[in-house]
Structure 1
Amino acid sequence: MKIYVTSVFVDDQQKALEFYTEKLGFETKHDIPLGESRWLTVVSKEDENSIELLLEPSSHPAVPPFKKALAADGIPAASFSVEDLEKEHQRLQDLGVTFVQAPTSFGEVKLAVFDDTCGNLIQLVQLA
């Protein structure tokens, strides 16, 4: 058994697609119309056969309060690994991405957290 897809709830799928591809550098894997929404996934350009990230619409009534509570408590909706956190932090800042936590070391791990503009906090992780 392996993980095939995981998701983040987004307020606007098109806005999320633009952020996740143009700012973060992912590429579209699937974009399938499903009525008012889409089965919209992105993957890492570094491994196109990796786990897909579903940009899931936030339309279910339970989702907005859930997302708001996570963000208010500073809890990331997802974590992405990077090779060089300082370099990636600078690259994303140069693209206008807003960080709510600058790169910080926690022993063997460095973390930073940014706002994905779609209602989520996303954590970047560099392992030693």
Structure 2
Amino acid sequence: MRIHLTSVFVDDQAKALQFYTEVLGFVKKHDVPVGGEDRWLTVVAPDEPGGTELLLEPARHPAARTYRDALVRDGIPLAQFAVDDVDAEYARMRELGVRFTQEPQRTGPVTTAVFDDTCGNLIQLATAPA
């Protein structure tokens, strides 16, 4: 068993696609219309095109909005992305105007930082020792 797909609820799929590809560096894998404005829209890591897909899922369902908004209000990240160097990624993303709610912080051997994905979510970056 392995994780094939996970999702984040987003306010606007076009805006999310731009942020997740142009700022975070993911690449679009699937973009399939599913009715109305909604799309089956996934991104993957550029160095793992066959890896786990992230679905940029419309946050239309009231329960999704309630859940996501509660996490943001409490400062809890919805997802965590692994990076080689949190400090370097933090500096790169700050240069691009990304708003962080937590600067790089070391907790034992792990370094984390939390940013606003501009689509309604907090996302945590993490670097663990090799």
Both proteins in one fold, TM over 0.5: yes
Quote the residue 1:34 is aligned against.
34
Quote the residue 1:15 is aligned against.
15
Instruction: Indicate yes or no: 2:5 matched with 1:5.
Output: yes
Give the secondary-structure state (helix, strand or coil) at the position aligned to 1:62.
helix
Alignment of 1:96-115 (within 5 A): 96-115=97-116
1:70-109 Cα offsets, whole Å, 9 max, x none, are 0011110110000011111001001111000000000010
Q: One-letter code of the match for 1:67?
A: R
Number of aligned pairs? 128
Note the C-alpha offset of 1:50: 1.0
Q: One-letter code of the match for 2:119?
A: C
Quote the residue 1:58 is aligned against.
59
Superposed CA RMSD in Å reads 0.6
Q: One-letter code of the match for 2:32?
A: I
Note the C-alpha offset of 1:2: 1.1
1:29-65 Cα offsets, whole Å, 9 max, x none, are 0000000200000000121111000000001111111
Alignment of 1:82-93 (within 5 A): 82-93=83-94
Question: In 2, distance between residues paired with 1:2 and 1:85?
Answer: 26
Give the secondary-structure state (helix, strand or coil) at the position aligned to 2:62.
coil
Question: In 1, distance between residues paired with 2:39 and 2:120?
Answer: 18
Gaps of 5+ in 1: none
Instruction: Indicate yes or no: 2:68 matched with 1:67.
Output: yes
Quote the residue 1:78 is aligned against.
79
Question: In 2, distance between residues paired with 1:103 and 1:49?
Answer: 30
Question: In 1, distance between residues paired with 2:22 and 2:118?
Answer: 13
Q: One-letter code of the match for 1:63?
A: A
Q: What is the TM-score normalised by the length of structure 1? A: 0.98
